[in-house]
Amino acid sequence: MSMKATIRQVDSVTVVDVSGRITLGEGCTQLRELIRDQLSKGNKNILLNLADVTYIDSSGIGELVSGYTGVSKQGGALKLLNLTKKVHDLLQITKLYTVFDVHDDEAKAIGSFAKAPSA
Amino acid sequence: MRAFPDPMTPESSCVEVTLESDLKNVEVAEEITRRVAGTAGFDEDEQHRIEMAVHESMINAIWHGNKNDSSKSVWLQFKIHPDRLEIRIRDQGNGFDPKRIPDPLENENLLNVSGRGIFLIRAFMDEFRVEHVNGAGTEVTMIKRLSSGIQTKQGGTDREHESHNTTS
């Protein structure tokens, strides 16, 4: 199963519900293009809901990092919502859990953007 | 692709498969790994970790070793020992030195986009080594040991039975 993404706008935040595999190839390319597309539209507050992500590999982690730094450079913020245990463990062992702003409550996650200076 | 025996049979202590060097075969290797690791007695979490190690090795073999050349192939061997699962993956490339890969946990590398594959393999497996096989490419060997507490419903007595009857 390849990656699928549904985009919805909640206040000033673009919520992306991601499902499937974020792995080298199609999944990573799709995520990269999606973030680039949102930035080009001026949507700089991006919340990736990873609840239905079944698999993420080292390239997928790299793509999340790339998205994080790319959005930050534009003065925005990319945050993560609803990590599965597998994704949570991967971010922990790669020490990226402390880099990303991770949430498990969507309303609170969206509220956290409003408090950010960039919002 | 060579046919492989049903991993659920007790005599299948060794599984070998040769796959076309194409990214679409990464998922094929994952499926084989999941079934072999289950047969070996690893629980679901461990199966996933072993599967991820094979995934990363397959990506390295296809992408970096065989340079995404689908005329080349990747050979995999899974050996179930009484106390461990040993996996070998061989490509037709020129090899690499894992010591030259920067530590992705260092602060200056933390936000690097790439360079975490070998790190994840090391994190998920108990042993990892890379050898250049003269004229045949590069072979990665990964070992995962069965710990006493890891045996689940499919481990248990089956594991004991297997430990007396399997050879590799």
Cβ of B111 and A59 within 8 Å? no
Per DSSP, the three-state class of B167 is coil
- Total number of domains in chain A: 1
Residue A63, φ and ψ in degrees, nearest 5: -70, -35
Domain-located, residue A114: no
- pLDDT tens for each residue of B127-156: 999 999 888 899 999 999 998 544 433 333
Which of A13, A8, A20 has the alpha carbon at shortest distance from A119?
Answer: A13
What's the gap in Å between the CA of A116 and the closest CA on chain B?
21
Cβ of B114 and A24 within 8 Å? no
The complex's ipTM works out to 0.90
Instruction: Determine the average pLDDT of the residues in B4-8.
Output: 49
Tell me what pLDDT residue A91 has.
97
**Mean pLDDT estimate for chain B:** 84
Which of B38, B45, B113 has the alpha carbon at shortest distance from A84?
Answer: B45
Cβ neighbours for B63, distance < 8 A, ≥ 6 positions apart:
A24, B23
Domain-located, residue A116: no
Cβ of B55 and A57 within 8 Å? yes
Q: Residue A60 is part of a domain; what is its CATH number?
A: 3.30.750.24
Q: Which domain holds residue A65?
A: 4-109
> How far apart, in whole angstroms, are the C-alpha atoms of residue B27 and residue B72?
17
Cβ neighbours for B152, distance < 8 A, ≥ 6 positions apart:
B41, B43, B44
A–B CB contacts, 8 A cutoff, strictly below: 49
Q: What is the pTM of this model?
A: 0.85
Domain-located, residue A62: yes
- pLDDT tens for each residue of B33-90: 999 999 999 999 999 999 999 999 999 999 999 999 999 999 999 999 999 999 999 9
- pLDDT tens for each residue of A70-115: 999 999 999 999 999 999 999 999 999 999 999 999 999 999 996 5
Domains in chain B: ranges and CATH: 15-165 (3.30.565.10)
Distances (CA, A) of B146 to A17, B32, B38, B41, B121: 37, 18, 11, 7, 17
CA A2-B93-A1 angle, to 5 degrees, is: 5
